[in-house]
């Protein structure tokens, strides 16, 4: 199928699924159920673990390449996300990179508001450094990309070593939600529910200042952060966040690569079963991550 045909088929399929609304419990249940039918790539193992006291999953390809470790920070609007929602994508990333993935399941809002998730991811990062100090990379999607950046800012300020590289997929980097998207923009991004996104930001912040760089890392200082890859869909409501992140990186002298995939909605990376461009983005990201390890070893 062509890109437009794939997008049309996906849009129609999603239109038949009732929207869960803005209640976190309903969204968690709906996302877990929606992901249940996604197949795992073969020859991938999942092992429960704890990273710095945080519940986590270690994902390995059967014959992993000893190429390094990836700390993967999942998305879910700070209020959802689990092994169920990310299992298939984590398996695909482990397959394509040959690396060992470390996925911490940080505390979620509204039960645990800002900065609990940042604290948890930092604790997991400290543990990951102990496991793999040379070839450690950090990857995050959506809210997870924002958490990854906030965590690295805190790690930098604490004098911790930086990872080899950072990859951000469909990043949510500014929680101010001041700009209301147009109806046409919301129509193009048929995955992201703007009212639910705003509600999630409010639940996570719980009165904290959305301009705090640890909540909105697009507004923070990226000096000293590792080389970054930002991949985003051209139809995303959060496209501006990707541009803001790339600009912040450039201002700080951080090497950044921004890749825009035309027509793709928010979180398209997790839809590799339905979108050819999602599989292509994963392949490109895997090649970039591997190259960063090799380049910095040379």
* Candidates 69, 74, 266, 269; catalytic one: 266
Token pair recorded at residue 165: 């590289």
* Candidates 170, 236, 269, 286; catalytic one: 236
Task: Specify the residue for token string 């790690």.
Answer: 155
Q: Do 256 and 249 contact (CB within 8 A), yes or no? A: yes
Q: Do 105 and 56 contact (CB within 8 A), yes or no? A: yes
Task: Specify the residue for token string 């197949």.
Answer: 39
* Candidates 77, 92, 142, 200; catalytic one: 142
Q: Is 273 a catalytic residue?
A: no
Token pair recorded at residue 214: 């640890």
DSSP for the chain, please give it. --HHHHHHHHHHHHHTSPP--S-HHHHHHHHHHHHTTPPPPSSEEEEEEEETTEEEEEEEETT--S--EEEEE--STTT---HHHHHHHHHHHHHHH-PEEEEE----TTTS-TTHHHHHHHHHHHHHHHH-SSSEEEEEETHHHHHHHHHHHHHHHTTPPPPS-EEEES----TT--SPPPHHHHHH--S--HHHHHHHHHHHHTT--TTSTTT-GGGS--TTPPPEEEEEETT-TTHHHHHHHHHHHHHTT--EEEEEETT--TTGGGGTTT-HHHHHHHHHHHHHHHHHHHHHH-
Q: Is 266 a catalytic residue?
A: yes
Closest CA to 267 of 168, 180, 155, 195: 168
Q: Is 236 a catalytic residue?
A: yes
Catalytic residues: 142, 236, 266
């Amino acid at each position: 199928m062509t890109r437009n045909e794939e997008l049309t088929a996906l849009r129609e399929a999603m239109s038949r699924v009732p929207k869960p609304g803005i209640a976190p419990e309903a969204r968690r249940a709906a996302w877990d159920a929606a992901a249940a039918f996604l197949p795992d790539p073969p020859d991938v193992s999942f092992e429960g673990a704890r990273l710095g006291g945080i519940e986590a999953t270690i994902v390995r390809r059967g014959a992993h390449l000893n190429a390094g470790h990836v700390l993967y920070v999942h998305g879910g609007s700070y209020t959802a996300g689990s092994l169920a929602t990310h299992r298939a994508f984590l398996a695909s990333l482990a397959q394509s990179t040959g690396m060992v993935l470390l996925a911490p399941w940080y505390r979620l809002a509204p039960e645990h508001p800002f900065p609990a998730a940042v604290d948890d991811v930092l604790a997991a990062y400290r543990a990951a450094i102990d496991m793999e100090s040379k070839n450690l990379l950090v990857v995050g999607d959506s809210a997870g990309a924002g958490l990854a950046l906030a965590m690295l800012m805190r790690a930098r300020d604490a004098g911790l070593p930086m990872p080899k590289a950072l990859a951000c997929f469909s990043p949510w980097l500014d929680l101010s939600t001041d700009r209301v998207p147009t109806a046409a923009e919301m129509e193009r991004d048929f995955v992201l529910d703007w009212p639910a996104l705003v509600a999630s930001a409010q639940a996570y912040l719980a009165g904290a200042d959305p301009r705090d760089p640890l909540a909105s890392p697009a507004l923070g200082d990226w000096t000293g952060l590792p080389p970054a890859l930002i991949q985003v869909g051209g139809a995303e409501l959060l496209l501006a966040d990707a541009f803001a992140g790339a600009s912040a990186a450039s201002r700080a002298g951080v090497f950044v690569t921004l890749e825009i995939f035309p027509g793709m909605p928010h979180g398209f990376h997790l839809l590799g079963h339905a979108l050819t461009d999602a599989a292509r983005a994963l392949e490109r990201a895997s090649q970039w991550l591997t190259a960063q390890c090799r380049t910095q070893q040379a």
